[in-house]
Chains A and B, each alone.
Chain A
């Protein structure tokens, strides 16, 4: 579907001048030769909030993070972190106050868990005694105390993620940047990471998070933007985005890819004025306030369907479409 930037996005609410913004971007662009991967985006991250950047692969999420964390010079626009323009002269000051948990595991394989943290602390100019104190706290926080002397290659994926998170906290950052913090983890490991992140949030840490797990965004983010092909195509709180783009509930009718059944379902829904989305083997009906949902459900008797609450995933798929991005 096509999205008209100004009506559907509600950018007004986002670009309100925020005096004490932790991150503020205006017309931010990044171009690699002829290829523009971030095409003029505006957003601001307020203190103590968890701000999500959602989007399919290639949306420009990681590039945005790289610009904020001083890894990638911006091509155009304005970008301020802690009120400081992101320029080489400010890199050190900015990086000293950021904690970055990158997408790729880049722990030091030749050092133990403990030494990974101690060595990392030294890069921030943290003295040995203070570093050891923080490492003890962080190992407890990340539930890795008994692994202090373990080698990195003996850790599970979940432990590595938690260690990366602990490492990102060693300098007590004012902004924690998490690039897909749970990608590749099993549900238990993922929930443990979420629990730790919620605890940090309660403690007042500002977070900027990219993800393509909608549940993660719903669990953690106060506000989020959806990016696609370098643009921000929607912004708001998770609940407002769901309400605005999908409605409260959806009914997913499974047609098995049969064209006749699909037509039949569409014929049933058309008179009710519902917004529908047709996928390979289903018809997804967005239920909004004006619709007579009981009548719809009655009409669908005999069909194979689920009736459920709308989620961010519905918003995401509605906005970014269903075709594969790789």
Chain B
């Protein structure tokens, strides 16, 4: 038996999550895809008729934001409720830790799984948006990868919260104070330039703001070198959250 490295080990954990998901993928798909698509249609076209936007239709403005937010939500739910269940109630992590797979591989595998769900949700929104004629740039072809990256960031952040959570109710704080704040103030529904200066500065501290900015540049263009900066922020957030998650999950399970 060859020793298992980080990527192969994470792959095994990812595979376990996928096998387990196959049992209830139908309901999961309806939840993951239905919500963002309905939001896009209802808000984009329903509310959009009353919104006067310079140059683009409101649905065109909204679609990239919904895509990034869908990736965030899908990954966040999986890495909190899903990972927490595996860490505590089901003791799945304990079972895996009795094998050559370690904490780093478990966290990486679960983050990758959360990101896979983000990829699925983000791609579904992309297909609907493209079908509705809301996508105008060939750069849109990289959007699944951006959804995946957004999912990795929020998956790792969710794992940090899971490692700290005493019980499920703790996630209410995270979703209300962090995820909902990002959903509303990261440029999904309106350009953050319309916020007061201090609030704009604060908004740029939120990872979702950068994800939305990248998606918008790719979907509706024109492409700008700023995209590199946004990507850099996301990678930095991913690295920091992953390192913290490994530390905190390790401290919780290895005592």
Contacts and interface: CB of A to CB of B under 8 A. Distances in A.
Interface of A: 32, 69-73, 91-92, 95-96, 98, 100, 102, 104, 106-111, 115, 119-120, 122-126, 171
Given A72-B255, A96-B100, A108 B1 contact: no
Contacts of A122: 12, 15-16
Nearest to B1: A125
Interface in B1-22: 1-4, 8-9, 12, 15-16, 19-21
A98 B98 contact: yes
Contacts of B3: 92, 96, 125
Contacts of B92: 106, 108
A84 to B, nearest CB: 14
Q: What is the predominant secondary structure among interface residues of chain B facing chain A?
A: helix
Given A110-B23, A119-B16, A95 B98 contact: yes
Given A104-B91, A171-B1, A32 B255 contact: yes
Interface residues of B, number: 29
B12 A96 contact: no
Contacts of B254: 71-73
B90 interface: yes
Nearest to B96: A123
Chain A to chain B: the 7 pairs with minimum beta-carbon distance, closest first: A106-B91, A123-B99, A110-B20, A100-B98, A106-B95, A92-B100, A125-B1
Given A72-B255, A124-B1, A119 B98 contact: no
A106 B19 contact: no
Contacts of A104: 91, 94
A72 to B, nearest CB: 6
B90 A69 contact: no
B101 interface: yes
26 contacts: A71-B97, A71-B98, A71-B254, A73-B254, A91-B102, A92-B4, A92-B100, A92-B102, A95-B100, A96-B99, A102-B94, A102-B98, A104-B91, A107-B95, A108-B90, A108-B92, A109-B90, A111-B19, A115-B19, A120-B99, A122-B15, A123-B12, A124-B99, A124-B100, A125-B1, A171-B1
Contacts of B15: 119, 122
Contact of A123 (B2, B21, B24, B101): B101
Contacts of A123: 4, 9, 12, 96, 99-101
